[in-house]
């Protein structure tokens, strides 16, 4: 039985293109893996807070020295990391907000990037410890021209950031599926969505 861990980060409860394409990917994945499990995290619902002082302290405290309040402060991180480590495929739906990932997605990232759990450092080099080996990132862009080789590529901090981050954690197979020009005329949007759905069918 495979596990798909899905992270939705759009603040739009309706009308989100990244969520819609992630829905299509999940449906394709379920068809190919009928016995799969799916865990969905809608991180924009406020369920994952920005990490605070106690959480950071807990991240750098040896297990034997963890107090009750530090354990409580890191309990959510423990749970989110356990989900990631169990997943066969990580699906991230990430619209671009002001050239970068949504703050809600960054909050999730800050909870799962944790020394001794998802990466290690021996004093000289880092080693990714994530057991998930495959990630699919679905991004939606209001304008066109954000992808490699296009005029506005330098303003796209979503793909380079997530590619580096996931590689840092040890994810080996990373695929990006993009929908551009979501505020363009309906025909262009439809064509972009169709192409993205076709990519999902191949990647699922």
Binding annotation for FMN: 10, 16-18
| 96 vs 98: CA distance, rounded Å | 6
Tokens of 24: 């299509």
Binding-site residues, in ranges, read 10, 16-18
Q: What is the DSSP letter of 96?
A: -
Cα end-to-end distance, the chain, whole Å: 15
Q: Judge contact between 183 and 142, C-beta under 8 A.
A: yes
DSSP line for 121-183? E-SS-EEE-----EEEEEEE-SSS--STTSTTGGG--HHHHHHHHHHHHT--EEEEEEE--TT
Q: What is the CA radius of gyration of the chain?
A: 18
DSSP line for 4-72? EEEEE--S-SSS-HHHHHHHHHHHHHHHH-TT-EEEEEEGGGTTSPPP-HHHHHHHTS-GGG--HHHHH
Closest of 92, 86, 116 to residue 104, by C-alpha: 92
């Amino acid at each position: 039985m495979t596990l798909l861990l899905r992270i939705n980060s759009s603040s739009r409860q309706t009308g989100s293109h990244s969520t819609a394409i992630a829905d299509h990917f999940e449906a394709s994945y379920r068809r190919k893996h009928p016995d799969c499990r799916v865990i969905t995290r809608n991180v924009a619902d406020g369920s994952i807070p920005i990490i605070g002082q106690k959480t950071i302290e807990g991240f750098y405290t040896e297990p034997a020295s963890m107090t009750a309040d530090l354990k409580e402060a890191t309990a959510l991180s423990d749970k989110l990391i356990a989900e990631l480590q169990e997943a066969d495929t990580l699906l991230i739906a990430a619209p671009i907000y002001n050239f970068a990932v949504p703050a809600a997605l960054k909050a999730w990232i800050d909870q799962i990037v944790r020394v001794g759990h998802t990466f290690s450092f021996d004093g000289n080099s880092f080693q990714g410890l994530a057991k998930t080996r495959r990630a699919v990132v679905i991004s939606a862009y209001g304008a066109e021209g954000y992808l490699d080789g296009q005029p506005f590529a330098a303003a796209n901090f979503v793909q380079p950031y997530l590619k580096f981050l996931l590689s840092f954690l040890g994810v080996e197979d990373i695929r990006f599926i993009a929908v551009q020009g979501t505020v363009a005329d309906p025909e262009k949007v439809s064509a972009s969505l169709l192409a993205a759905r076709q990519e999902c069918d191949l990647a699922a």
